[in-house]
Chains A and B, each alone.
Chain A
Amino acid sequence: MSKDIRIKKGLDIKLVGEAEKTTVAAKASSYYAVKPEDFHSIIPKMLVKVGHKVKAGQALFHSKLDETLLFPSPVSGEISEIVRGAKRKILEIRILADATQAHEDFGKKDAAKMSGDEVKTHLLAAGCWPFIKQRPYDVIANPSKSPKAIFVSGHDSSPLAADLDYVLTGKEAELTAALTALTKLTEGSVHVVTKKGGNSPLANVAGTTSHTVSGPHPAGNVGTHINKIDPVNKGEVVWTVAAKDLIIIGEVLLTGKFNATRTIAVTGSQITKPQYITAIAGASMKDVLAGNVNLDNTRIISGNVLSGRQESEDGVLGYYDNQITAIPEGDDYEFFGWNKPIFNKISVSRAFTFSWLNPNKKYDLNTNTNGEHRAFVTTGTYEEVFPLDIYPMQTLKACMYADLDEMEALGMYEVAPEDFALTEFVCVSKQPHQKIIREGLDLMLKEIG
């Protein structure tokens, strides 16, 4: 049953620095890095040592709890350094890339002729499993469980996000192969949601259920789709795969090679020429942004401004990310900034903030919090940007006082931190909603499992 989802509650954050639709190849980086923190709740167990040679697709480490869950190297080269932090926690695995890339060969497969178990084994072996995530808890899917449905979002509505219709064009074969493989993994449907009125190559792939969505952000969030199409109940599991990762899965199936090359939107007001580039996951920011960024007091984010991760200018592109955003840091005081009329910032209220006057204006926001951290005071604001059938403030408070029964009853199984990105953006009390939800989910994962 296909559905036409219309979102009314939400907010499009329009920023300066949208990527122009031209794609250039980024300079190949000399070194790449994989950060285990990209894979939330996974404790890495290293399979390689400094000095080892790896091929692209060869596993660097596996999960401590499940040794079939492999995490592959995005490039071929030599392990140059394993950076450790407190308690010898692995922070970063650095790989000195070879000039010519060698790929591990996993063999060509025709997903249509494989059984579910074969697909599962193949994806695990080829290092594609980390691309499959699960709800509840928003972590990498547990391969031993069977999901009731799999969701793929073909629309990214977050600020300055890569236009998936543009990025995915030309990758039809890979997408179809990957989706076919996914249909083997569940007894339920594979729900593919695309933007209404767009021409996504994901729409109407045989074997999947196609839906369309329209409305402001978070219309593209997979959490929104799950809530509207088939909400997660207690005891149920759904898996989600990002459209951009389908390409990598598809290529593994079609060619046998793990190729982590992505089309990345380089965006934000500090970028000289916002455009799309192709680069390999884990590439160093220096090479990716080479000369295209104003580094004067700039925040570089791997991902979007709502849920991305802060990276230094020497940092690397996140394993999952297909966007880089550079915006000005806001570490300055603003005289009477709390009561003067505001024209250059976004607000959902009209309390002498005038962003309601022209809703299509693009803003150059900086990283200032625009106020200090406070207790929850105002009510009703979150609900205006939160389309899920869940009470956001009550859920956040339940997480803060760690009442597992209440968290469960209020719908924590259905949410991921990114679903609370907009409520965090509009929060008058500047509470870290995504962090609160993440910690709540981690607690549930630990206590309930």
Chain B
Amino acid sequence: MSLKNKLHNIKEKYKGKKMAPAFNALHTFLYLPNETTHNGTHVKAADDLKRTMNTVIMALVPCLIFGIFNAGYQHYLATGAIEASHGFLGGTFWTFDNLIHGAWKVLPLVIVSYGVGLAVEFLFAVIKGHEVEEGYLVTGMLVPLIVPIDIPLWMLAVAVIFGVVIGKEVFGGTGMNILNPALTIRAFLFFAYPTWMSGDKVWVSEAVERAGTADAISGETILGAYAQNNTLPGIDQWDMFWGLIPGSIGETSKFLIIIGALFLIFTKIGSWRIMLSTVIGALVMGLIFNGVVSAEIIGESSKFYGLMNVPFWQHLIIGSVLFGAVYMATDPVTAAQTNKGKWIYGFLIGFISIMIRVFNPAYPEGVFLAILLMNVFAPTIDHYVVQGNVKKRMKRLKVKTA
């Protein structure tokens, strides 16, 4: 008997039992189910939610791989073991040592994220008796990419449980949540363990352990440096673009994020409207701040000067605006759902991101807060867009009756 038949028999045997959703989740992972249509359309398009989510994961994989190498590279660079490399194919970047060190640091984060998150999903599916929905496949991949490299695993596990339960399951699971679960996890970390998440030590691996010793290394990000009116030595704009800088694991390489964005737009999985309008929003806010500086309203003595004075386009290559725009803001469940609404939603995310970045002295990365804020407002945006359609219909009726 083939594997297919064996699995089919198990499925029939446990149909309607408590553990059925858990088994089905694994079964449908191997095989597209044998479900057929009933009345309604007798044929269906090829895409399902698994395929959709899988496409997003594939767009994330390059960022993950780059993040692994970068983790090792930043560590060895900070300890002085290797020379700085320049350009995407820099000699000291794609090395075996970097891979080993990075993988040792990053893969546990991936495993904890998926393991804990999927366990919670399975638990809820079994308790509530619905199928395991695929939403966490993407969330589980996003989470390791948006946390600092040196985050303790227990901290991540706690945050994932919080994020999945409070961010998603209490609303009814995938498709019903208001906040992006990955960002809920990030926000939980930020507010529960602020010294970890906003310090200048966590962004390069092992910087924390070495702090205060003779081997101390800096673990600061460029944003952190700019916020203190400093710059990091030895980093130019190309390094920022290619991603050879300290930062959250997956967000540094703007080059690969753009590749991922193009892939998502081409496959029609990601919304180009949101991506584009977020970028426009960020540029507009950056331009306004540049204008404020050049009008000399804010002088060099101001604590906002450092980030305000950054040329507007550079905001895109520092921090995680692009990563947020491409992978987080576009989450269809929490984003605006109407096409017109998407433009407004994206623009405001970009706009508010840069505003928070400049004005928040404690923690200069505003993207995740901006996206969470707009998640909350997305239904309101949609409401007014849909009301436009409703009003048009009312008007048509009035013209008729008048």
Interface, chain A (partner B; CB < 8 A): 13, 15, 159, 231, 233-236, 299, 301, 305-310, 325, 327, 329-339, 342, 345-353, 355, 365-381, 383, 389-391, 393-394, 409-411, 421, 424-430, 432-435
Contacts and interface: CB of A to CB of B under 8 A. Distances in A.
A378 B52 contact: yes
B360 interface: no
Contacts of B52: 349, 351, 377-378, 428
Given A333-B8, A374-B175, A369 B393 contact: no
A231 B174 CA distance: 36
A437 to B, nearest CB: 10
Contacts of A234: 397
A396 B72 CA distance: 50
B386 A391 contact: yes
Given A348-B268, A350-B268, 16 more contacts: A231-B396, A307-B41, A334-B31, A348-B47, A349-B52, A351-B267, A353-B47, A368-B35, A371-B33, A371-B51, A374-B131, A378-B332, A389-B392, A394-B337, A424-B40, A424-B41
Nearest to A411: B393
B45 interface: yes
Contact of A435 (B24, B40, B269): B40
Contacts of A350: 266-268
B397 A233 contact: yes
Interface string B19-42: 000001000111111111111111
A310 B46 contact: no
B54 A339 contact: yes
B173 A370 contact: no
Interface string B283-323: 00000000000000000000000000000000000000000
B41 A425 contact: yes
Contacts of A433: 40
Nearest to B55: A351
B333 interface: yes
Instruction: Across the A-B interface, give the 10 residue pairs with the lowest CB-CB distance, nearest first.
Output: A371-B48, A337-B32, A375-B175, A345-B46, A333-B31, A338-B50, A334-B32, A347-B46, A351-B55, A365-B43
Contacts of A370: 32, 44-48
B237 interface: no
A432 B4 contact: no
Contact of B33 (A333, A379, A393, A394): A333
The winner among A337, A345, A426 for most chain B CB atoms within 10 A is: A337
B49 A367 contact: no
Contacts of A394: 337-338, 382, 386
B362 interface: no
B271 interface: yes
The winner among B40, B176, B271 for most chain A CB atoms within 10 A is: B40
Contacts of B13: none
A425 B44 contact: yes
B335 interface: yes
Contact of A391 (B28, B389, B396): B389
B17 interface: no
A301 B37 CA distance: 12
Given A299-B42, A376-B175, A432-B40, A338 B48 contact: yes
A372 B48 contact: yes
14 contacts: A235-B397, A336-B31, A337-B32, A338-B32, A346-B45, A353-B51, A371-B44, A371-B50, A372-B49, A409-B393, A410-B386, A424-B44, A430-B44, A430-B48
B396 A233 contact: yes
B41 A371 contact: no
Interface string B366-402: 0000000000000000100010011011101100100
A291 to B, nearest CB: 23
Contacts of A369: 33, 35-37, 44, 48
Contacts of B131: 372-374
Contacts of A409: 390, 393-394
Contact of B268 (A299, A308, A336, A351): A351
A377 B51 contact: no
Nearest to A436: B40
B117 interface: no
B390 A410 contact: yes
Nearest to B336: A379
B231 interface: no
B135 interface: yes
B200 interface: no
A338 B28 contact: yes
A271 B148 CA distance: 61
A242 B126 CA distance: 49
Contact of A349 (B36, B37, B47, B396): B47
Interface in B130-147: 131, 133-135
B339 interface: yes
Contacts of A372: 24, 28, 33, 35, 48-49, 131
A177 to B, nearest CB: 32
B8 to A, nearest CB: 7
Nearest to B53: A377
B36 A338 contact: no
B40 A342 contact: no
B246 to A, nearest CB: 33
B48 A346 contact: no
Given A329-B36, A371-B50, A394-B386, A352 B55 contact: yes
A306 B30 contact: no
Nearest to B175: A375
A338 B42 contact: no
Contacts of B31: 333-337
The winner among B36, B39, B42, B400 for most chain A CB atoms within 10 A is: B42
A345 B45 contact: yes
Given A339-B51, A371-B50, A379 B332 contact: yes
B38 A310 contact: yes
Nearest to B54: A339
The winner among A236, A307, A368 for most chain B CB atoms within 10 A is: A368
